[in-house]
Amino acid sequence: MLNYLIKRLLLMVPTLFGVLLLTFVVIQFVPGGPVEQMVAQLQGRDSGGEGAAVAGAGYRGRQGVDAERIAEIERLYGFDKPAPERFLRMLGQFARFDLGQSFYHQQDVWSLVRSKLPVSISLGLWTFLLTYSVSVPLGIAKAVRAGSRFDTVTSILVLAGYAIPGFVLGVLLLVVFGGQLQWFPLRGLTSANWETLGWGARVVDYLWHVTLPVTASVLGAFAVTTLLTRNAMLEEIGKQYVLTARAKGLGERQLLTRHVLRNALIPIVTGFPAAFVGAFFTGSLLIETLFSLDGLGLLSYESVLRRDYPVVLGTLYLFTLIGLLTKLVSDLCYLWVDPRVKFD
């Protein structure tokens, strides 16, 4: 197992290198970079719109700007050096976990990511907890009652929720419960006077604000986990050892809880690490935009539009590394829940 761990850890290095190299190369050919956008601002044009369009048409946006000023802007953003040198310097920074400085926000990428995490954690963690706490028991109940009216009705409901896009449901919730009935706020995670509230009032205010975006995010996640649990349970129930246990007089409840459930939950349990870690770094752009939540999804989208390359590459490096480590932990969970697995 130690050899397997070392091999997987070593394979992360070329994987990270390949992801960063490919992204860096693509960035070099994207028009409307930070230099062109700064030039467009100096000329009085919109940096995200006309400036990028002008830059895309042969970078005519540089016309009319002093060459020394352009060279100064290139030195400011580090574009005065060759691309290979910039890439190697970036790799050296990432090796020290220095994600660089944002062009647009004028702060380091680490601080920027930490400032956006509370929103993404609120959405992702609640989605994770509600999905597993509802879907797993529901999937077990559906497997036990397979073919019944309960099984049919719940399947229709979870599949209908899966078919409705989250942002469409979010618009509906905002219009009905936020606009017409005015039961919930329309934006943000807290009220303007949140700092002046007591702890109990803060919790209530937070839950009041987070209800609609979490509902819009979580409804579509029920179907996959519910049906996966149901089908895994049905597959185990149909195996020979279950028939043998029943023939020997083992009680149905004891059979389901001690034997069937333990084996059926293997694919569910091994997915916990990825789902749990993803809760901290998963940002839904449409949900965050719809409910005016400033999270990682919105940050990533704005960074791409503004060509904020340190944020794009820094967050890509961070999330890729976390994803690779999470995948390794998920594989190790197979060994924990199923001793029959051998990595050699």
188-211 tens-digit pLDDT: 788 888 778 888 888 888 888 888
> For residues 231 and 193, is the Cβ–Cβ distance under 8 A?
no
Residue 338: predicted pLDDT: 67
> For residues 291 and 136, is the Cβ–Cβ distance under 8 A?
no
Give the whole-angstrom CA distance, residue 229 versus residue 265. Answer: 7
Domain end position, chosen among 109, 144, 167: 109
Domain end position, chosen among 76, 109, 142: 109
> For residues 166 and 286, is the Cβ–Cβ distance under 8 A?
yes
Does residue 23 surpass a pLDDT of 80? yes
Give the whole-angstrom CA distance, residue 308 versus residue 33. Answer: 8
Judgement on whether residues 145 and 194 belong to the same structural domain of the protein: yes
Judgement on whether residues 96 and 196 belong to the same structural domain of the protein: no
pLDDT of 221-237, one tens digit each?
788 888 888 888 888 88
Host domain of residue 317: 119-337
Q: Looking at residue 313, which CATH number applies to its domain?
A: 1.10.3720.10
Give the whole-angstrom CA distance, residue 185 versus residue 174. Answer: 8
* DSSP per-residue codes, 64-115: TS-HHHHHHHHHHHTTTS-HHHHHHHHHHHHHTT---B-TTT-SBHHHHHHH
Domain total in the chain = 2
User: Which strand (E) or helix (H) includes residue 231?
Assistant: helix 222-237
Cα dihedral sign for 219, 231, 330, 311?
Answer: negative
Amino acid at 178: G
First-to-last C-alpha distance (Å) of the chain: 7
> For residues 230 and 141, is the Cβ–Cβ distance under 8 A?
no
- Confidence band for 131, pLDDT divided at 50, 70 and 90: confident
Judgement on whether residues 154 and 177 belong to the same structural domain of the protein: yes
Residue 49: predicted pLDDT: 43
Average pLDDT over residues 128-143: 89
Does residue 18 surpass a pLDDT of 50? yes
Average pLDDT over residues 63-73: 66
Residue 316: predicted pLDDT: 86
Judgement on whether residues 93 and 131 belong to the same structural domain of the protein: no
Q: Is residue 342 part of a domain?
A: no
Domain end position, chosen among 81, 109, 137: 109
Does residue 136 surpass a pLDDT of 70? yes
Does residue 248 surpass a pLDDT of 70? yes
**Both structure tokens of 25:** 């190369």
DSSP-derived letter for residue 101 is B
Give the whole-angstrom CA distance, residue 214 versus residue 95. Answer: 36
Mean pLDDT for all residues in the chain: 80
pLDDT of 293-336, one tens digit each?
888 878 888 888 888 888 888 888 888 888 888 888 877 777 77
Judgement on whether residues 130 and 268 belong to the same structural domain of the protein: yes
Judgement on whether residues 134 and 257 belong to the same structural domain of the protein: yes
Judgement on whether residues 77 and 124 belong to the same structural domain of the protein: no
Judgement on whether residues 45 and 151 belong to the same structural domain of the protein: no
